Amino acid sequence: MSFSPDQWVETHFGPIAEALSSVVFYAVPIGGTDVPLIVMWSAVAALFFTVYLRFINVRALGLAIRHAKGDFADPTARGEISHFKAVATAVSGTVGVGNIGGVAVAITVGGPGAAFWLFIAGLLSMSTKLVECTLGVKYRRYNADGSVSGGPMFYMEAYFRERGWPTLGKGFGGFYAAALVVGCLGIGNMFQSNQAFAQVLVITGGAESIFADRGWVFGLLLAGVIAAVIIGGIQSIARVAAVLVPVMALLYLISALAVIGLSAEHIPAALSLVISEAFTGQAASGGLLGAMVIGFQRALFSNEAGIGSASIAHSAVKTEAPASEGITALLEPFIDTVVICSLSSLVILTTAIPQGLMGSGLAGIELTSAAFAWHFAWAPYVIAVAALLFAFSSALAWSYYGLKGWTYLFGEGRLRAIVFQMIFCAFIALGCMLELRAVLDFSDAMTFMIALPNILMLYLFAPMVRREVNQYIADTRSAQ
């Protein structure tokens, strides 16, 4: 019997991922539903910051768009990239294949009602994102070579240092950085490359594909292309993201709208079903609470609000006003979850469910692809291109996030950076050797583990962030 690297990796890595997931997602029974405590931790924070900041996610959305357009650009400000490039880089890290496949998983497990709670979670998550990105810019550091380093590890360290506990601050920062390095190897590349590979198999013959049982070949090809970009650092990544993000988002949005339009007769029934199952307790798994939990879990995994990762990219922005970038960051969950994930939900609800594709054995991105193919036989090729672009863009952003965690732990330096980048690219190939379950377990566990210390710090910094945001909005209005 021939040796299969794919099977070997799944056999040895799968149980580890499952064990880790069971610890991170420890659940307590509430109302007959097992609710993961870590999901509650993130969801409650999103609700708290939305109310505490007086629905800043709605009030400042227009201002966020103006920042992204460059209306308030300051060419003399310190930093490396523009507001638009910062948000494009961060969006490239959140808009991944989870927007295509993860939504299908949420509706399959949590029922149609999960789509409603996914939408609500996206709106609330905008406020969390504002807080962490404001802090990322406020406590960033300027390196000797002119580059910038920022993110949760720096504002964690600063909080305790300012209160006379520098060692505790270093401990918090080190824990976050270490978890970020490990986590980026799951959410940032393994899940992305796994789902992109799954779609490539669909369009190249499935079990008969030349890539069947050769996931490592596809993974190495993808890793090589990603390595060519990330070695150039944040400015190289931002340049690519500024072009790639609008193109890939537009490609998917047009395709999804076309499919929804061709299934327009099912839209009223689909929306009615979503509302009914979201509030009447008839969801497929755990009733109302089950749909809510699944919806929030998928949304938070997709837009990463509360994890703090996006604040690392936003820290590189050219600005002297931290709140300006926090406000700009409102656009990320809005684009990622409120818009793109909602369209994916409608594709499933108006095509996959009415046509009997749900429950046919398809899962993740394969189910979404089948829904597209119901109307367009060539649609799987479009999905494959979108999945590849999504996976590629996410890996670019997360390589930078992981690098900043790595240099926080081991120091700045070109050789240290290259060592991490090679490890990162190796895990891209590894992701193509694992089954969906193992990759989801590992990615989710690492993602939400990082949220533990970060959200705690967001609560501690909340009064200061509110003052910063209110003052900045007042100054902006008075200047007009």
- Domain with residue 246: its CATH number is 1.20.1740.10
Q: Rounding to the nearest 10 degrees, give the CA dihedral for residues 263, 264, 266, 270.
A: 110
Q: 182 vs 14, 48, 324, 424, 452, CA distance in Å?
A: 16, 29, 30, 10, 15
* Residue 297 within a domain: yes
pLDDT in tens, 54-89: 999 999 999 999 988 888 878 888 888 888 888 888
Q: Which residue has the tokens 């970060």?
A: 454
Q: How many domains does the chain have?
A: 1
| Residue pair 103/322 in contact by the 8 Å Cβ criterion | no
Tokens of 168: 């505790």
Q: Can you give the pLDDT at residue 344?
A: 87
pLDDT in tens, 137-173: 999 988 877 778 899 999 999 999 999 999 999 999 9
* Residue 66 within a domain: yes
* Residue 15 within a domain: no
| Residue pair 359/145 in contact by the 8 Å Cβ criterion | no
Tokens of 466: 């509110």
| Residue pair 410/178 in contact by the 8 Å Cβ criterion | no
Q: Can you give the pLDDT at residue 284?
A: 46
Q: Which residues of the chain have pLDDT under 50?
A: 1, 283-285
Q: Can you give the pLDDT at residue 288?
A: 62
Domain with 215, as residue range(s), is 22-471
* Residue 10 within a domain: no
pTM of structure? 0.85
* Residue 16 within a domain: no
Q: Can you give the pLDDT at residue 324?
A: 92
* Residue 4 within a domain: no
Q: Can you give the pLDDT at residue 283?
A: 47
* Residue 379 within a domain: yes
* Residue 77 within a domain: yes
